[in-house]
A and B are shown apart, each in its own frame.
Chain A
Amino acid sequence: MYDYTEFDRDFVHQRVAEFREQVERRIDGSLTEAEFLPLRLRNGLYLQLHAYMLRIAVPYGTLNSRKMRQLAMIAERWDKGYGHFTTRQNIQFNWPKLRDVPDILEALADVEMHSIQTSGNCIRNVTADHFAGAAADEIADPRPTAELLRQWSTDHPEFLYLPRKFKIGITGSPNDRAVTKSHDIGLRMLRDADGAPGYEVSIGGGLGRTPMIGKVVRGFLPKADLLPYLEAILQVYNLNGRRDNKFKAP
């Protein structure tokens, strides 16, 4: 599991301070709802049917006990004593109050967690096999690659305003428990005939109202080429993905 550097800690706490000020400005009326909407979505805060919902990133589904206990504290102190883990391995609180959200984000930052890129048309949390690192059928542990992708995609200036939200899933096993072909980019870890590590890359998968199974675009991609290859896919999507109709964007 990645440990924050001093830069990371400052960055996340600064984001919380920024959002705290934005919430205050919304409550005192200096920001309209139209102005506030993109700001709260940048911090994972939705207004849904019954209440606000805060989605928190759990990178490739990994938590330690300190983080888990902090999530429990948040649920008990500011929500209704529970949260929902999502199919993409994040966690959502379904009843937060607007005024409490900055405090919740501060409590998350204290344990190296945040809600950045859990909403909006950006690269979302990378999903991995929930048995990663412990599966008997694993060719390799997918979590180092997932962490590499997390660092590469977090606050990537070129990919923060994509035509639509963008999801990446990775598995290190032939039994695809991460359902990689339901992702915009699906990665399956492989080894070539010489035993060198790489990936099978599929694109175009998705769920939602028009589910699609991803198509394989590269049978074997050497490990060293991963980031340039993904960057090229994202660049094509960024240029050619439809922005006029979100249901046709994928």
Chain B
Amino acid sequence: MARKFQPQMATGNDLLEGDVVYFTSTGDWSRHIGDAALAVNPEASEDLLKRASAFPNQVVGVYLVESAIDERWRVAPAHFRETFRTRGPSNYPQHGRQAERNDV
């Protein structure tokens, strides 16, 4: 049986900073996953990836990730690898974004 489609968002790393960024519904990039544009069907995902890939000198390694809704009804990545990307290294809570804010 075909796997059920999960809403997707586009992410990559900022060329200058290396920081994790998300493609937004206004067509630019944000460090906050809450700003990410969501594609709700395969055609929209394809279009999202195409639009997000139009910034080769701003964002590196653009790809789609599946999203989910977390326990506080916020958009979150479905895969733990992507959850780490929203927070920072799992071995040192004082490193990365999790050190800057506690709402991730």
Contacts and interface: CB of A to CB of B under 8 A. Distances in A.
Interface of A: 26-27, 29, 32-33, 47-52, 80, 94-99
Contacts of B13: 47, 51
Interface of B: 13, 15-20, 56-57, 60-61, 81, 84-85, 88-89, 95-97
Contact of B95 (A26, A47, A80, A97): A80
Nearest to B96: A50
12 contacts: A33-B15, A47-B18, A47-B60, A47-B61, A49-B20, A50-B89, A50-B97, A51-B17, A51-B19, A52-B18, A98-B15, A98-B18
B10 to A, nearest CB: 16
Q: Looking at chain A's contact residues, is the secondary structure mostly helix, strand, loop, or mixed?
A: loop
A98 B84 contact: no
Given A27-B15, A27-B16, A97-B16, A49 B85 contact: yes
B17 to A, nearest CB: 6
A50 B88 contact: yes
Contacts of A29: 56-57
A33 B18 CA distance: 13
Given A29-B57, A32-B56, A80-B95, A49 B84 contact: yes
A211 B41 CA distance: 41
A70 to B, nearest CB: 22
A82 to B, nearest CB: 9
A26 B97 CA distance: 26
A153 B74 CA distance: 52
Contact of A33 (B56, B89, B96, B97): B56
A33 B95 contact: no
Given A32-B56, A50-B96, A80-B95, A99 B16 contact: yes
